[in-house]
Chains A and B, each alone.
Chain A
């Protein structure tokens, strides 16, 4: 027996990255704008997404959603009330979604039918940051009830997101939410990150969010058309 060095030089998550790149290509071809929603548990992803699906449908867009959860399909049932096609991905203990799961669950969907596909990730501010799902936009939610220092505790998640949405703004005063501190912390870990403030419950700031989505979809399609 003899010791020997083997050079490998391979990213540990390279398999997920490759699958995600393939998905991104498919989404581009189908001209569907895909968003990955991440947050800590209970920050309001499902509530926000439900109102988003309703709002986009009212504006005439075709939308769909995948929702990851550790155990139940409660979130999918809530989202399906919007009338949009929704599928639950039960991760059975896995604390994040992976590209492979997305690939499996969109298999029987004709993506060209959709303008937007939303993916609600498992509530967790750590693990999902490492797993690209092929999304065009990653949105991190931060609720007024969970402390303004979340960005400092989970920098990779906030850095890797393209937009931050502060949720439950309707109860900001009651929970003594320090808005300036939250904005400062977001800026520290992600200089220039755009921030929206909303309440899905009280319908505050939702129009601005829907406007932003409409603009992003248009920009996305303009680029995809040019490269074709």
Chain B
């Protein structure tokens, strides 16, 4: 279950950023998650709730934006979304297409924090 170690990495990055920004607590963490990242969303939610206990992120909400798998089709000469992660083939023309453009993301994009007004710049 590597979602726990993924969650720990996520929390470390978020806590550092929150701390540097003088946050009293974190409300929401926004994550981009590609369908081809190899991370199971449900497991990540579970790990997040467990691993945030006792951190600045305790009680915060993890908001996940799913990113579909998009590849470049050399025949159509454009980006196409794959309907299945089990077949790297252009759904339009049938050409094998393995140049991934999107869908492997595992990125902390934004956080909503609560801080004292006096501390905000």
B51 within 8 A of A: no
Q: B85, A155: Cβ atoms under 8 Å? A: yes
B80 at the A/B interface (Cβ < 8 Å)?
no
Q: A152-B86, A192-B96 are in contact. Are A130 and B108 (CB under 8 A)?
A: no
B114 and A2 contact, CB distance less than 8 A: yes
Residues of A close to B108: CB separation below 8 A: 8-12
Known contacts A2-B115, A130-B106, A192-B98; is-contact A8 B14 (Cβ 8 Å): yes
Interface residues of A, dominant DSSP = mixed
Residue A95 at the B interface, CB < 8 A? yes
Residue in chain B with minimal CB distance to A94: B5
What are the interface flags for B89-113 relative to A under an 8 Å C-beta threshold, 1 for contact and 0 otherwise? 1000000111000001011111111
Assuming the A-B contacts A6-B17, A192-B98, are A96 and B107 also in contact, with contact meaning beta carbons closer than 8 angstroms in the complex?
no
B116 at the interface (CB under 8 A from A): yes
Is the contact region of chain B dominated by helix, strand, or loop, or is it mixed? Answer: mixed
Assess whether A7 is in contact with B114, with CB atoms less than 8 Å apart.
no
Instruction: Give the residues in chain A near B87, CB-CB below 8 Å.
Output: 188-189
Q: Is the CB of B86 within 8 A of A189?
A: yes
| Chain B contacts for A152, CB-based, 8 A | 86
A1–B114 contact, CB under 8 A? yes
B31 A12 Cβ-Cβ under 8 A = yes
Is the Cβ of A13 less than 8 Å from the Cβ of B106? Answer: yes
**Distance (Å) between the CB of B22 and the closest chain A CB?**
10
Task: Name the contact of B110 in the complex, choosing from A8, A13, A156 (C-beta under 8 A).
Answer: A8
Q: Does B41 contact A (CB under 8 A)?
A: no
**B76 in the interface (beta carbon within 8 A):** no
Number of interface residues of B (CB under 8 A): 41
Interface code A118-131, partner B: CB below 8 Å = 1, 0 otherwise?
Answer: 00000000110110
Q: Is B53 among interface residues, defined by CB-CB distance under 8 A?
A: no
Chain B nearest Cβ from A102, distance in angstroms: 16
Interface size on A, residues (CB 8 A): 34
> When the two chains form the complex, which single residue of B13, B23, B104 contacts A10, counting CB atoms closer than 8 Å?
B13
B42 within 8 A of A: no
> Is B117 a contact of A2 with CB atoms below 8 Å?
yes
Contact A12–B98 (Cβ < 8 Å): no
* A10 / chain B contacts, CB cutoff of 8 Å: 13, 107-108
Residue of B nearest to A155 (CB): B85
* B74 → A minimal CB distance (Å): 11
How many angstroms between the C-alpha atoms of A9 and B106 in the bound complex?
A: 10
Of residues 137 through 177 on chain A, the ones whose CB sits less than 8 Å from some CB of chain B are 152, 155-157, 159
Instruction: Enumerate chain B residues within 8 angstroms of A129, measured Cβ to Cβ.
Output: 38
Q: Tell me whether B88 and A156 are in contact (CB under 8 A).
A: no
Of all chain A residues, the one with the shortest Cβ separation from B115 is A4
Alpha-carbon distance between A94 and B5 when the two chains are bound, in angstroms: 8
Query: Which residues of B are in contact with A by a Cβ distance under 8 Å?
Result: 1-2, 5-6, 9-10, 13-14, 17-18, 21, 23-24, 27, 31, 36-39, 85-89, 96-98, 104, 106-117, 120
Q: Which 8 A-B pairs have the closest CB atoms?
A: A191-B96, A127-B2, A156-B38, A6-B111, A12-B106, A8-B108, A152-B86, A129-B38
